[in-house]
Amino acid sequence: MAIEVRIPTILRSYTGGAKAVDGAGSTLGDLLVDLDAKHPGLRGRLITPEGGLHRFVNVYVNDEDVRFLAPSGLTALDAKLNDGDTVTILPAVAGGAFGLAALAALCLTHPAAPPTRPTLPPI
């Protein structure tokens, strides 16, 4: 099952510069796993460590934002895909004067280091 995936400029380093690649999967989550096998690291730019879609990534199936497509009670990654669909990935264009620390942790382009367990001095 072939699904065309349109890749934004900032993620083309993972696709050898390609603007569009083909993938397979019956849900968005499956598609991203399939893409990551061919383009290692790509999924990690789209998915948070907790396994959800990054807040500042927009993913569309054909003309719909996946955040509005997911079946009720499920997440954006459960959005169903069909052969011939086009998936478009765009970095959200966002920002603003107020430097929310929480936003830094959620960012797409400059991921914060994963939290480290504090080390306690030996007793």
Partner 1 sequence: MLTIARTIVDAIVAHARGDHPDEACGVVAGPVDGDTPVRHIPMENAERSPTFYRFDSMEQLRVWREMDNRDERPVVIYHSHTATEAYPSRTDINLAGEPDAHYLLVSTREPDATEIRSFRIVAGAVTEEPVHVVDATVDPNAVQSYLFGQTPLGVDYECRPAS
**Which residues sit at the interface with partner 1, rule CB under 8 A?**
8-10, 56, 58, 60, 63, 65, 67, 88, 90-100, 103-104, 107-110
Nearer to partner 1, 1 or 43 (CB): 43
CB of 123 to partner 1, least distance (A): 38
Q: Is 43 helix (H, G, I), strand (E, B) or coil?
A: helix
Cα separation, 18 vs 7, whole angstroms: 7
**Least separation in angstroms between CB 28 and partner 1:** 15
* Residues 72, 110: Cα–Cα separation, whole Å: 31
Rg (CA), the chain: 16
Backbone φ and ψ for 91, nearest 5 degrees, come out as -65, 135
Q: Which is nearer to partner 1, 26 or 109 (CB)?
A: 109
CB nearer to partner 1: give 32 or 53.
53
Residue (100 or 120) nearer to partner 1, CB: 100
Element (H, E) at 30: helix 28-38
- Which residues does 20 contact at the CB level (< 8 Å), separation at least 6? 4, 5, 6, 7
Q: How far is the CB of 18 from partner 1 (least distance, A)?
A: 15
